[in-house]
Amino acid sequence: MAGYLVTGGCGFIGSHLCAALLDRGHTVRVLDDLSTGSESNLMPGATLVCADVSEPAAVREAMEDMDGCFHLAAIASVQRGMLDWPGTNRTNLAGAIAVLDAARSRRVPVVYASSAAVYGDCASLPISEDAPTRPLSAYGADKLGCELHARVAGAVHGIPTLGLRFFNVFGPRQNPLSPYSGVISIFCDRLRRDEAVTIHGDGGQTRDFVPVAQVVAALLAAMRGASVEAPVLNVCTGRPTSVLSLASIVGEVCGTRPKVEHGPPRLGEIRHSLGDPRRAGMALGLSDPGSLRDGLAEVVAWMDAVQPDRGRPVISQTV
Ligand code: NAD
Ligand code: UD2
């Protein structure tokens, strides 16, 4: 059994990862500032260090006697990166550097969250890991920066790393109440309460929606694959869904005819994002992620369990 530091462990993906690590008998320490995460997401058995990941001393202390680090803490929103460029950069890039710096003295392996946002708008789909990286957002640029610093960490300091380029992740515990929330959490929350959803633009933009269980499987396997070569792998399904058809599938799952409003397209919006899952599938031994409809049904079932009368939003916390 090993001890793992999970930054961002009180967030959506982090809480699922912590549950999986604890199930396997590992010791889990979480570093989180609870800015978008919640203490109610701290898994029983995990300990919490409430601190800012961009504070090198705090991260160094949290990494003491740990065997590995999963670095997930970030401001996980393209839109917030547009609004607060320096602030998101501090968390998203300086935070990653603080993690790598803390890993330096004992060469602690680091598995970290990158994003499909590093690719920008790719001419050729599906996108393999060899595609050029041309981010269209500060968020994507910072994630690419994490990958470059991970390469330096391996080449210069001998720190093993592996970066996972998550596509659009969804599942239970994703908070639907912020304007920056992932589209699936917003659509499920609204349509189960028979409220209208807003589609930014014409809804023809497509995304590769990947269930959180697949992401956790990839994270767990990635710790064994971390190396000084600083590999990066896609975590995706290879199946495209337009935002318009997402609204209609969520409507079916919720048993309602969706009311859809169209707003202006988002600034810097990527039109099509579709990953090639084959390399990661082989390297990490991933199995089929299951259907989008089943994953959506799981999200709606979770929301119904938390808020059975469907009368009010699912989580009272706002971000
Ligand atoms: P989340 O907002 O639920 O979790 C992020 C966690 O990091 C939260 O608990 C938050 O409180 C914490 N955090 C934020 N700033 C911090 C700081 N300065 N110091 C310490 N903790 C801080 O988001 P998530 O969806 O679980 O994302 C996890 C990781 O995966 C992020 O790195 C994100 O960029 C990446 N990612 C997410 C997706 C997705 O679709 N959700 C896709 C690609 C990449
Ligand atoms: C980006 C990244 C993703 C992850 C995420 C941050 C890409 C392709 N994906 O996701 O990997 O890093 O940022 O967590 O870069 N939408 C609506 N109505 C809404 C909400 C969203 O139409 O109410 C649309 C939105 O315009 C976009 C799609 O839904 O076309 C997905 O939006 P999102 O905010 O869930 O995620 P996205 O693609 O910005």
CB of 12 within 6 A of ligand 2: the answer is no
Active site residues: 139
**Domains (ranges, CATH) in the chain?**
3-168+209-235 (3.40.50.720), 173-207+239-273+289-310 (3.90.25.10)
Task: Note the pLDDT of residue 317.
Answer: 42
User: CB-based contacts of 56: which residues, under 8 Å, 6+ apart?
Assistant: 98, 101, 102
CA distance 192 to 121: 32
Contact call for residues 222 and 233 (beta carbons, < 8 A): yes
Instruction: Tell me the CA–centroid distance for residue 121 and ligand 2, in Å.
Output: 13
What's the token pair of residue 154?
Answer: 């391996």
Residues in the chain: 319
Q: Residue 123: which pLDDT band, with cuts at 50, 70 and 90?
A: confident
Task: Note the pLDDT of residue 315.
Answer: 58
CB of 33 within 6 A of ligand 1: the answer is yes
Contact call for residues 283 and 225 (beta carbons, < 8 A): yes
Task: Note the pLDDT of residue 183.
Answer: 97
The fraction of the chain above a pLDDT of 70, given in percent, is 97
Give the mean model confidence (pLDDT) for residues 128-145.
97
Tell me the average pLDDT of the chain.
96
CB of 237 within 6 A of ligand 1: the answer is no
Contact call for residues 279 and 126 (beta carbons, < 8 A): no
- 119 strand-pairing partners: none
Q: For residue 246, give the ligand 2 atom closest to its CA.
A: 29
The fraction of the chain above a pLDDT of 90, given in percent, is 93
- 3 strand-pairing partners: 27
Q: For residue 41, give the ligand 1 atom closest to its CA.
A: 9
Contact call for residues 110 and 68 (beta carbons, < 8 A): yes
- The residue whose CA is least distant from atom 6 of ligand 1 is 8
Query: Between 268 and 81, whose confidence is greater?
Result: 81
Q: What is the pLDDT of residues 159-218, one digit of tens each?
A: 999 999 999 999 999 999 887 899 999 999 999 999 999 999 999 999 999 999 999 999
Torsion of CA 53, 235, 116, 99, to 10 degrees: 20
Pocket test for ligand 1, best of 31, 43, 115 (most atoms within 8 A of CB): 115
Task: Note the pLDDT of residue 308.
Answer: 83
Q: What is the pLDDT of residues 264-300, one digit of tens each?
A: 999 889 999 999 999 999 999 999 999 999 999 999 9
What's the whole-model pTM score? Answer: 0.97
Pocket test for ligand 2, best of 79, 119, 167, 207 (most atoms within 8 A of CB): 207
- The residue whose CA is least distant from atom 3 of ligand 2 is 168
Q: What is the pLDDT of residues 46-65, one digit of tens each?
A: 999 999 999 999 999 999 99
CB of 9 within 6 A of ligand 1: the answer is no
Pocket test for ligand 2, best of 78, 80, 173 (most atoms within 8 A of CB): 78
- 209 strand-pairing partners: 168
CB of 171 within 6 A of ligand 1: the answer is no
Give the mean model confidence (pLDDT) for residues 257-269.
94
